[in-house]
Chain A
Amino acid sequence: MTGMGAGASMLQSLPVFGKIISVEEALTPVDIALKKKMADVALNAAKSGGASYADVRIGRYLNQVIATREKRVDNISNAESYGMGIRVLANGSWGFAATNNLDNDSIAKAAKIAVAIAKGNAKLMSEPVQLAPQKGFGEVSWKTPIEINAFEVPIADKVDLLLNVNNEAIKGGAKYINSNLFMVNEQKYFASTDGSYIDQDIHRIWPTFTLTKIDAAAGKFETRNALSAPMGMGFEYLKPLESEKIKGGPVTLYKKRYDILEDVREAAVHVDEKLKAKPIAPGKYDLVLDPSHLFLTIHESVGHPTELDRVLGYEANYAGTSFLTLDKWESKKFNFGSKEVNIVADKLEAGSLGSVGYDDEGVKCGKWDIIKDGILVNYQTIRDQAHILGLKESQGCCYADSWDSIQFQRMPNVSLSPGKVPLSAAEMVKNVEKGIYMFGRNSYSIDQQRYNFQFSAQLAYEIKEGKIVGMFKDAAYQANTQEFWNACVQRCDKTDYRLGGTFSDGKGQPGQASAVSHGSPTTRFNGINVINTGRKIS
């Protein structure tokens, strides 16, 4: 905490590690034959050093960020991080080393360090690591199905789009507007002593903004963030399509195409409403939660507690453990939620952030139920923990955020399935007597075992006798996870289903970020406790 990194702050406007490269360089992948050769050097060195298993990840991580504010560009960066991480199993213990020097000597040396670390730590193990079997796939590849590679779109076009967003905000009376566009391309090559050589090209994109208005006389300010979602897509996400919009409610909503100019125009109006909104009276309300909001509640209260490594105690010192202990799963009757609650883990869903062909330990990805008709039926796991669930193979949930990070269990897309009965959000609202209709993520907090949470939204509309009558301010709901999901009474149908997500789910020590999506339809929860968070400080 002290004495760190002062000089690094010169570059702190760069959101990422690594070196800046030209667009042309970014678009030229590393030769696959060279990657195979380098991987074999590492695997052979590990084996000859005494490893019983080894895998290697050669990662080329490209990030482009464009950040603007009002009428100016704050930052354009185009960064690359390129190197190799080697993980080995020796004497029943894991070891890991990484290098960005990719000559044969440096690679072999890193493999030897990984083996030495594994052997050195073996004395601190209580039982050897048990790895679920995994067949080798030979030489295979996978790509995110994108239409427009965002890295190929000229920077000037992207800057123009964001400055247009800012102009619309200022025209709408905004005092401040920050707009950003984040683009990620992970070019990952995985090889293991099981005989896999897997080449993957993964793309993600996230356009976002924060619009601020000030009421100086009252000493107040309000903001509204974009209602976009980070997506596992190319630049096509930013090409609006009427068929991908949901209109008719208080907010225009977007499926797999986003209209950022329309959203910012609406945001300017929403902030005026927020400045004039009435403070909420605390009490019980029926909540109608839009997917742009509900995704984060799913992430925190369903995604994290069903991570098997948390259940077992591997995250006890940081993120915490889980209330969903193994006995609850073994009973086959733990009532996580109402019968409406069907939660699916899915590493395949098109457009999602978690979609890949293979995970970071060479397991082919799939889809499985976690909560079925309200009952806890499964978790999320990886090769060295699969045996604890009696599984013969991993569920493919292993991920590392960089070549120099150690891969470990990370959340797949965890989504609430849509209802089977046709129902739109507008129809759902009509039946609510006293409720709140919430959009967008805001403040979020949950305990280390995932029982007690508190969430607030970008927009909270009052529903009175089936009608939206105005906006509330200072509304946050608090609940116990199991009680909340048992209060789930109704889901809209698949035409309302949308993805939300995050680029930066944090876990592990040292901390790692991972990108994950959560799909849901608009969903109703009855009788949830809502508090008023307004305070005065002088």
Chain B
Amino acid sequence: MAILSKEEAQAILKKVLSYAKADACEVSLNGSDGGNIRYARNAVSTAGQIDVMSLGVSATFGKKTGTATINEFDDASLQKVVKRAEELAMLAPENPEYMPPLGPQTFAESLTFNAKTAAMSPDTRADMVAKSLSVSKAADLEAAGFLENTTRFNSIMNSKGLFAYNKSTNVSFSVTMRNKQGTGSGYVDQDFNNLDKMDTLALSKIAASKANGSAGAKAIEPGKYTVILEPLAASDMLGNMFRGFDARSADEGRSFMSKKGGGTRLGEQLFSENVNIYSDPLNPEVPGSTWNGDGLPVTKTQWVQNGVVKNLSYSRYWASQKNVQPLPFSRSLVMEGGTQSLEDLIKSTEKGILVTRFWYIRMVDPQTLLLTGLTRDGTFYIENGEIKFPIKNFRFNESPVIMLNNVEALGKPVRTGSGLIPPMKIRDFTFSSLSDAI
């Protein structure tokens, strides 16, 4: 029920618009269907299955907009939701930033849907979890994990004739393996659109190997170190930075992208020359929707080229204020790297620290994007190109902007967290204290 085809969604949206009397009307119809299994202490703890669908209507008279949503789809309910949005619009104050709806647009066909992922059953999930548990039990480790699959559809239509539809699938898996003594812990976290790419057995073996390898960690002094960040750790840092690629907050003077004396840092060399970041919804490794919530086409966009900030995202309103084209941000981020593997990066390191992942990252100072957080689930000391021993976890205080000015080498990008991200070798990364946590 919850996953409508393009034609089914279009038919409902058209019907809704036919009831509208407002000057302008925008309607969205979204649904998701999926299930999950959660396990801990080598046994299932919870499992569930949920499907939901909802319709949202934004009606506007002049510059007064009201929004209403509903999850019933008979004709009377559809009429009711339109009427309610129109009533709310009449009562609403004028929105000086109101932008009239866009007319019809052309969108590329997205690559986000995979039929096999959409067909996943509770049994498929149970089998995938059983594989993970077979690894932990064989290695005498305790596993806690989470497997979830979701199919979604998103669609919008407005009174100017714009219609957009997208269907997507996602399967995500993460597992933490710990030894019985509580002295070692390993973790993996992976998601794909395509079920065929997800191998819970192989991933669980990596977590098991990290759990055993991290046992008996030694304390070394906090300070500045060369670090090799696995793609997951790198992605944890970058995710916090990408949110700052917004022109408005930069223009308003309250972002790390704000320029001293006013304006933005667009066009400035903010990072090392080897930093190149773009987004592309048609990248087959990290496919994304080819339109955004405003109905704007989302296309390949270069954000950072050779360390220079090439673009900031502009909402339609802010673009109109600044006389530029609106530019939506995309989640299909790609940070370019090289061809080196993680092992190659380790081999080329005289002294350094390998970080599996970070945890509990929070903003300390939005002006410098200073973040704090901790290493977790496998931190290792490297000497003369080899992993020598596991080390105790550190707290860091570091800015991803400073980090991307200290890039020594980048490896081959892989899909993780915030996009397609390479493992990175970074010099002078600041660890400020030790943690006893395992």
Which A residues have a C-beta under 8 Å from some C-beta of B?
1-14, 18-22, 72-73, 76-77, 79, 93-98, 100, 113, 116-117, 120-121, 123-127, 155, 159, 175-176, 212, 214, 216-221, 223, 312-318, 320-321, 323, 325, 404, 406, 408, 443-452, 454, 456, 474, 476, 478, 480, 508-510, 529, 531, 533-538
| Interface: B133 (CB within 8 A) | yes
> Which B residues, 17 to 45, have Cβ-Cβ distances below 8 Å to chain A?
26, 28-30, 36-45
Are B260 and A317 touching (Cβ within 8 A)?
Answer: no
Are B148 and A447 touching (Cβ within 8 A)?
Answer: no
| Interface: B71 (CB within 8 A) | yes
Are A314 and B374 touching (Cβ within 8 A)?
Answer: no
Are B56 and A120 touching (Cβ within 8 A)?
Answer: no
Are B363 and A443 touching (Cβ within 8 A)?
Answer: yes
Are A97 and B365 touching (Cβ within 8 A)?
Answer: no
Are A3 and B126 touching (Cβ within 8 A)?
Answer: no
User: Shortest Cβ distance from B183 into chain A, in angstroms?
Assistant: 12
Are A480 and B402 touching (Cβ within 8 A)?
Answer: no
Are B47 and A447 touching (Cβ within 8 A)?
Answer: no
Are A20 and B154 touching (Cβ within 8 A)?
Answer: no
Known: A7-B293, A444-B362, A510-B148. A113 touches B49 (CB 8 A): yes
> Which B residues, 28 to 83, have Cβ-Cβ distances below 8 Å to chain A?
28-30, 36-50, 52, 54, 56, 58, 67-71, 81
Are B293 and A8 touching (Cβ within 8 A)?
Answer: yes
24 sampled A-B residue pairs with Cβ under 8 A: A2-B193, A7-B29, A8-B28, A10-B58, A73-B93, A93-B44, A121-B37, A125-B44, A216-B262, A218-B260, A219-B253, A219-B259, A219-B260, A316-B40, A316-B142, A318-B146, A445-B360, A446-B360, A451-B437, A452-B374, A476-B372, A478-B433, A537-B368, A537-B369
Chain A residue at minimal CB-CB distance from B175: A317
User: Shortest Cβ distance from A435 into chain B, in angstroms?
Assistant: 21
CA distance A531 to B433 in the complex (A): 11
What residues on A are CB-neighbors of B14 within 8 Å?
A: none
Chain A residue at minimal CB-CB distance from B438: A449
Known: A3-B288, A72-B95. A317 touches B401 (CB 8 A): no
CA distance A283 to B79 in the complex (A): 65
What residues on A are CB-neighbors of B291 within 8 Å?
A: 6-7
Most buried by B among A96, A117, A315: A117
Partner of B437, one of A320, A408, A474: A320
Known: A73-B93, A124-B126. A317 touches B46 (CB 8 A): no
Q: Which segment of B163-171, B213-221, B335-343, B344-352 sits at the interface?
A: B163-171
| Interface: B105 (CB within 8 A) | no
CA distance A292 to B401 in the complex (A): 32
| Interface: B313 (CB within 8 A) | no
User: Shortest Cβ distance from B397 into chain A, in angstroms?
Assistant: 6
What residues on A are CB-neighbors of B419 within 8 Å?
A: 1-2
Chain B residue at minimal CB-CB distance from A325: B182
| Interface: B176 (CB within 8 A) | yes
Are B364 and A443 touching (Cβ within 8 A)?
Answer: yes
Q: 4 nearest interchain CB pairs?
A: A7-B154, A9-B293, A3-B112, A219-B260
Are A221 and B367 touching (Cβ within 8 A)?
Answer: yes
| Interface: B294 (CB within 8 A) | yes
Are A315 and B417 touching (Cβ within 8 A)?
Answer: no
What residues on A are CB-neighbors of B91 within 8 Å?
A: 155
CA distance A72 to B43 in the complex (A): 52
Are B178 and A404 touching (Cβ within 8 A)?
Answer: no
What residues on A are CB-neighbors of B395 within 8 Å?
A: 445, 447, 452, 454, 478
Known: A10-B156, A447-B393. A323 touches B364 (CB 8 A): no
Are A214 and B254 touching (Cβ within 8 A)?
Answer: yes
| Interface: B256 (CB within 8 A) | yes
Partner of A448, one of B56, B130, B298, B376: B376
Binary contact readout B114-156 vs A (1 if CB under 8 angstroms, 0 otherwise): 0000000011001001100100000000101110100010111
User: Shortest Cβ distance from A135 into chain B, in angstroms?
Assistant: 25
Partner of A79, one of B69, B112, B174: B69
What residues on A are CB-neighbors of B228 within 8 Å?
A: none
Are B435 and A452 touching (Cβ within 8 A)?
Answer: yes
Known: A5-B30, A5-B154, A406-B48. A22 touches B84 (CB 8 A): yes
Partner of B253, one of A11, A221, A444, A508: A221
Are A18 and B259 touching (Cβ within 8 A)?
Answer: no
Chain B residue at minimal CB-CB distance from A314: B40
Are A8 and B126 touching (Cβ within 8 A)?
Answer: no
User: Shortest Cβ distance from A3 into chain B, in angstroms?
Assistant: 3
CA distance A3 to B194 in the complex (A): 12
Are B368 and A536 touching (Cβ within 8 A)?
Answer: yes
What residues on A are CB-neighbors of B185 within 8 Å?
A: 316
Are B93 and A533 touching (Cβ within 8 A)?
Answer: no
| Interface: B226 (CB within 8 A) | no
Are A117 and B47 touching (Cβ within 8 A)?
Answer: yes
Are A537 and B399 touching (Cβ within 8 A)?
Answer: yes
Are B253 and A314 touching (Cβ within 8 A)?
Answer: no
Most buried by A among B46, B50, B369: B46
What residues on A are CB-neighbors of B286 within 8 Å?
A: 1-2
What residues on A are CB-neighbors of B95 within 8 Å?
A: 72-73
| Interface: B10 (CB within 8 A) | no
CA distance A314 to B143 in the complex (A): 10
CA distance A1 to B419 in the complex (A): 8
Are B71 and A100 touching (Cβ within 8 A)?
Answer: yes
Are B112 and A2 touching (Cβ within 8 A)?
Answer: yes
User: Shortest Cβ distance from A50 into chain B, in angstroms?
Assistant: 16
Are B71 and A18 touching (Cβ within 8 A)?
Answer: yes
Known: A124-B130, A314-B45. A18 touches B69 (CB 8 A): yes
Are B28 and A451 touching (Cβ within 8 A)?
Answer: no
User: Shortest Cβ distance from A335 into chain B, in angstroms?
Assistant: 16
Most buried by B among A7, A79, A218: A7
User: Shortest Cβ distance from B352 into chain A, in angstroms?
Assistant: 22
| Interface: B238 (CB within 8 A) | no
CA distance A291 to B96 in the complex (A): 39
> Which B residues, 405 to 438, have Cβ-Cβ distances below 8 Å to chain A?
417-419, 432-438
Known: A159-B93, A320-B437. A219 touches B258 (CB 8 A): yes
CA distance A471 to B111 in the complex (A): 54
Partner of B364, one of A316, A448, A533: A533
Are A11 and B166 touching (Cβ within 8 A)?
Answer: no
| Interface: B359 (CB within 8 A) | yes
What residues on B are CB-neighbors of A6 within 8 Å?
A: 154, 166, 288-289, 291-293, 298
CA distance A93 to B260 in the complex (A): 60
User: Shortest Cβ distance from A255 into chain B, in angstroms?
Assistant: 28
Chain B residue at minimal CB-CB distance from A114: B48
User: Shortest Cβ distance from B244 into chain A, in angstroms?
Assistant: 11
User: Shortest Cβ distance from A408 into chain B, in angstroms?
Assistant: 7
Binary contact readout B95-115 vs A (1 if CB under 8 angstroms, 0 otherwise): 111000000000000111000
What residues on B are CB-neighbors of A77 within 8 Å?
A: 67
CA distance A480 to B436 in the complex (A): 9
Are B69 and A447 touching (Cβ within 8 A)?
Answer: no
Partner of A4, one of B259, B331, B368: B331
What residues on A are CB-neighbors of B81 within 8 Å?
A: 19
| Interface: B387 (CB within 8 A) | no
Are A20 and B88 touching (Cβ within 8 A)?
Answer: yes
CA distance A315 to B433 in the complex (A): 25
| Interface: B373 (CB within 8 A) | yes
Are A73 and B92 touching (Cβ within 8 A)?
Answer: yes
Known: A19-B68, A20-B84, A478-B432. A454 touches B260 (CB 8 A): no
CA distance A531 to B373 in the complex (A): 14
Known: A14-B56, A113-B49, A320-B359. 11 other contacts (CB 8 A): A7-B293, A11-B56, A72-B93, A95-B48, A97-B49, A126-B43, A220-B367, A314-B45, A318-B146, A447-B374, A509-B148
